Structure 1
Amino acid sequence: MKVETRSIEYVPAEERHGKARDLFPIWFGANMHITTLVTGALPISLGLNLFWSVAAIIVGTLLGAIFMASHSAQGPKLGIPQMIQSRAQFGVIGAIFPLFLVMFVYLGFFASSGLLAAQTLSSLVPIDQTWSILILNILCFVVTIFGHDLIHKMQKVLSWSSFFIYLAATYIIFQLPISAGSWSPGSLDWPVFLLAVSIVATWQLAYAPYVADYSRYLPITTSTAQTFWYSYAGTFIGTVWMMTLGATLTIAVPNFLDHSGGNLAHLFGRFAIIMYLIIIFGQLAINVFNLYGAFMSTITTIEPFWKLKVTPKVRIGMIFGVTVAGTILCLLGKSDFLTFFLNFIFFISYFLIPWTSINLVDYYVLRHGNYNVKDIFDVNGQYGKINWITCIAFVVSILAEIPFINTSFYVGPVAKAFEGADIAWLVGIVVPAALYYFPMKRKLSKAEYMNEKQETVI
């Protein structure tokens, strides 16, 4: 297995390989882990019963996966990582703004997934949780060094092994006794339901900054529709399945979230070791995603100022630096995981949603996928250093979300008026789309007119 030689640069046609269907196991496997399962427990923790928790999981995934898969469909045509493509909207220097925020996404999920993996490993073998964190993060570091092709192969193995083990787990879990009325629709607390939908949709949106990183090696002729639907199907099935199990376990097993990995494994009795290994494997796999994405974002941030040649030595050094940062965050968060994770999920949604709205409007509505890839790497190219239209739309959209948010540390006035309903994610989709589309359409039309005029003169 060779170390990946490319980082953020364009993947030429002769190096493209694979088929759109290869994306299904990538995104199915990416959700078959304990962090997804714990996220499915959050609607229960907020106060919904099992029926409405599962409904929120399905609705949130159906909505969020649209955005996630739409980003995935950009990969084959552009052949570059997702976040570097943001330079076409924000400008080569301006793209650093959302990149810093995305770095928190990677590190936050790296820390939360690492904590759950360490808990599980410490239950399996008698070692301190700190040592478990260090051992597992070193393994993630080694796999990430090899990069794209090894990650694809690992995800295929994880998808098939997880499928059969979690199929058995599903049978066991649905035999567990649960409280009466858990599956009854009864009355619905709409504010809490909307909050739960927002959490689940955000889970899918968290993939958006790096989903195209795993489709950019596909041949340029790969169908956009196939890229979308294989990504969508993989992430939808994996997410709904695992989150439903998480919600059910939270009802059926007392204090399940106190030690989710160990509690899940113990359901297998004398075969618990199998589930322990699957859980640890799943956490390693998703953390490789997070580490790989953090590495790509770091390169993208540095590249406009320092034309760095990413040799294997440089690659290893940069991945090591990101691993250290994630490990420190992991060690700091281990004392109160659930509070840390819930606040983190809320936090990232308020930044990721406006970014994804701007990116998709630009790609699908304004430019129809037509970009000059060479200029994306040129500070003096057509996309400029900073696109103030985008940056202002992005900041104003985040400010517009504030009255609508509902978190443990702040509840906006509109959210209070709506009895706690958090609809900031809807504001985060609509407001930036409008603020970006109209002035940017005028700017592009003017540029097109000037080009045509210049060609006529010539």
Structure 2
Amino acid sequence: MVERRSIDVIPDEERHGTAFSQFTLWLGANLQITTVVTGALAVVFGGDVVWSVVGLLVGNLLGGAVMALHSAQGPRLGLPQMISSRAQFGVRGAVVPLVLVVVMYIGFFASGSVLAGQAVGKLTHLGPVPGIIGFALVTGVMATVGYRVVHALGRVASVVCALAFVYLGVRLMERADLAHLAHQHHFALPMFLLAMSLSASWQLAFGPYVADYSRYLPRTTSARATFGWTLAGTVLGAQWSMSFGVLVAATAGTAFVDDQVGYVVGLGGTGLVASFLYFVIALGKLTVNVLNTYGGFMSLVTSVSGFRGRRVLSQRGRTAYILGIMVAGTAVALAGRTSFLDSFADFLLFLLTFFTPWSAINLVDYYLLSKERYDLPALSDPNGRYGGWRWDALLVYGVGLVAQFPFLSTSFYTGPLVTPLGGADISWIVGLIVPAVLYAALGSRRARTAPPSPTTADASRTASRAS
């Protein structure tokens, strides 16, 4: 059960599973309390019920499609997601987006621990601080075991959390005035785009680690199947949770804002039912926090190995990296637990700004320019085909970041073009289009001068023999 691999290529003889595993993993990862809070933010910030649900669906579909395209790279390459960024930014240049990815993992670990800590604290009667610490320790153990336990958690969570959400939905319908809520459909473009941005950022934030959990699939796994099952699981889970959050926020108002976990559990009942719901909240957060810890460990190893050249990591080394992510995330959770809701909204929009250009560049390079063919051994050689630093790609990434700022709207910064657009934040759309177009033009010129890449299958066999 304990995984041996880290950022090295997964040999064909160790590949296993089916594309359907991506459905259960991403369904379980999205049926959880933080996703509910994300959907509720669309109403908390002024949106109505109907158009918030529609905006969230559009954002989930668009962001989920980008995320699922990253997932389809896993079986083909047999590598963690972010190491493929070396083909675009260079073996060492990839550390630029990697640093931001590690910040993302720590932030999501912290936000998840705040809510899960409340649930664990209530379930054990120890309080939120011991709950956060205990939850972090369990997360670290699960992440150390690795890939198989991640998927096992996804399968369990997808069933248990789905049943809990059905029950909670029924209980909510008993309280909500559906006719009144259905009449809340006054379209306002800024609020509609805010809802889109919230759900799109949620999905795009999975992009930097989604292939980590498909890389063990057999190489013969259909890319279309991997894409389809990933998209179905992540959109269904996220939209289900976010729509529930919209209805809860519209029905409960400040009662939900002040105590998200307490309100959801109180909606379900008391006694054994309440204990079960606290367990469900902790289970849902455990699933996604293990993903964040595991992905953070992969990103740290990728960053360090770009300079040290090592691809194989000992069990002790794995444990040390995972412990570092766990400690950092727990410290942030303990420091920021009293201002969670406002901080989380800004954190989501911050993530969106920095990861849309990376997604655009990575997908254009993999699908359009390289035609799904990478020289895998060269991804570990700073003197090889991809070089140490690819300054042209880093420049495009920087331009993609800067292009978003005039359209960005957060509590600490509002771009000059936000007001003419009625307060709408369309920075993530700009952040996808601008770097995609620039990198496509740059990459087509680069491709004309580069030698043809060996197939990933050939390179993978070479890497497997070397390891």
Query: TM-score range, shorter-chain basis?
Result: over 0.9
Offset of residue 397 of structure 1: 1.0
Q: Distance in 2 between matches of 1:438 and 1:360?
A: 14
Moved over 3 A (4+): 178-181
Q: Does 1:377 align with 2:380?
A: yes
Query: Which range moved further: 71-80 or 302-311?
Result: 302-311
Offset of residue 219 of structure 1: 0.3
Offset of residue 448 of structure 1: 4.0
Offset of residue 257 of structure 1: 2.3
Amino acid at match of 2:120: L
Q: Which residue of 2 aligns with 1:57?
A: 56
Q: Which residue of 2 aligns with 1:310?
A: 313
Q: Does 1:268 align with 2:273?
A: no
Of 328, 339, 344, 1:325 maps to 328
Work out whether residues 25 and 234 of structure 1, in 8 Å CA contact, stay in contact via their aligned partners in 2.
yes
Amino acid at match of 2:278: Y
Q: Which residue of 2 aligns with 1:337?
A: 340
Matches within 5 A, 1:37-436: 37-178=36-177, 181-184=180-183, 186-254=185-253, 255-270=255-270, 271-308=273-310, 309-436=312-439
Offset of residue 268 of structure 1: 2.1
Q: Distance in 1 between matches of 2:23 and 2:235?
A: 10
TM-score, normalisation: structure 2: 0.94
Q: Distance in 2 between matches of 1:397 and 1:367?
A: 21
1:30 counterpart SS class? helix
CA separation of 1:186/1:157 partners in 2, compared to 1, >3 Å: closer, same or farther? Answer: closer
Work out whether residues 51 and 186 of structure 2, in 8 Å CA contact, stay in contact via their aligned partners in 1.
no
Q: Distance in 1 between matches of 2:120 and 2:246?
A: 23
Work out whether residues 3 and 312 of structure 1, in 8 Å CA contact, stay in contact via their aligned partners in 2.
no
CA RMSD in angstroms, aligned pairs only: 1.6
Q: Distance in 2 between matches of 1:177 and 1:276?
A: 22
Amino acid at match of 1:443: R
Q: Distance in 2 between matches of 1:126 and 1:430?
A: 50
Offset of residue 200 of structure 1: 0.8
1:303 counterpart SS class? helix
1:86-140 Cα offsets, whole Å, 9 max, x none, are 0000000100000001111111110101101112222333323211111100000
Q: Which residue of 1 aligns with 2:464?
A: none
Offset of residue 211 of structure 1: 0.4
Q: Distance in 2 between matches of 1:162 and 1:187?
A: 32
Work out whether residues 91 and 387 of structure 2, in 8 Å CA contact, stay in contact via their aligned partners in 1.
yes
Matches within 5 A, 1:18-37: 18-37=17-36
Work out whether residues 51 and 185 of structure 2, in 8 Å CA contact, stay in contact via their aligned partners in 1.
no
Amino acid at match of 1:225: R
Work out whether residues 193 and 426 of structure 2, in 8 Å CA contact, stay in contact via their aligned partners in 1.
yes
Offset of residue 185 of structure 1: 5.3
Work out whether residues 191 and 420 of structure 1, in 8 Å CA contact, stay in contact via their aligned partners in 2.
yes
Q: Distance in 2 between matches of 1:437 and 1:19?
A: 33
Q: Distance in 1 between matches of 2:225 and 2:13?
A: 21
1:14-55 Cα offsets, whole Å, 9 max, x none, are 110001111110110010110001101010011111111111
Q: Distance in 2 between matches of 1:12 and 1:331?
A: 41
Query: Which range moved further: 309-318 or 53-62?
Result: 309-318
Q: Distance in 2 between matches of 1:272 and 1:286?
A: 22
1:193-242 Cα offsets, whole Å, 9 max, x none, are 11221111010001000000011100000001000000000001101101
Work out whether residues 178 and 251 of structure 1, in 8 Å CA contact, stay in contact via their aligned partners in 2.
no
Offset of residue 182 of structure 1: 2.4
Offset of residue 304 of structure 1: 2.0
2:182 counterpart SS class? coil
Q: Distance in 2 between matches of 1:63 and 1:70?
A: 11
Q: Distance in 2 between matches of 1:398 and 1:307?
A: 29
Provide the aligned length of Structure 1 versus Structure 2: 450
Q: Distance in 1 between matches of 2:23 and 2:127?
A: 36
Offset of residue 332 of structure 1: 1.2
1:335 counterpart SS class? helix
Q: Distance in 2 between matches of 1:59 and 1:365?
A: 25
Amino acid at match of 1:269: G
Offset of residue 307 of structure 1: 3.9
Offset of residue 444 of structure 1: 1.1
2:4 counterpart SS class? coil
1:408-431 Cα offsets, whole Å, 9 max, x none, are 111101112112110101110111
Q: Distance in 2 between matches of 1:138 and 1:5?
A: 21
Amino acid at match of 2:347: F
Offset of residue 180 of structure 1: 6.3
Work out whether residues 50 and 185 of structure 2, in 8 Å CA contact, stay in contact via their aligned partners in 1.
no
Q: Which residue of 2 aligns with 1:3?
A: 2
Q: Distance in 1 between matches of 2:292 and 2:150?
A: 11
Q: Distance in 1 between matches of 2:395 and 2:219?
A: 33
Offset of residue 262 of structure 1: 1.7
Q: Distance in 2 between matches of 1:266 and 1:194?
A: 32
Offset of residue 364 of structure 1: 0.9
Q: Distance in 2 between matches of 1:102 and 1:259?
A: 29
Q: Which residue of 2 aligns with 1:456?
A: none
Gaps of 5+ in 1: 452-458
2:165 counterpart SS class? helix
Paired-residue identity, %: 42
Work out whether residues 75 and 215 of structure 1, in 8 Å CA contact, stay in contact via their aligned partners in 2.
yes
Offset of residue 434 of structure 1: 1.3
Q: Distance in 1 between matches of 2:3 and 2:36?
A: 31
Query: Which range moved further: 354-363 or 269-278?
Result: 269-278
Amino acid at match of 1:143: M
Q: Distance in 2 between matches of 1:31 and 1:415?
A: 30
Amino acid at match of 2:48: N
Q: Distance in 2 between matches of 1:179 and 1:447?
A: 60
Offset of residue 179 of structure 1: 8.0
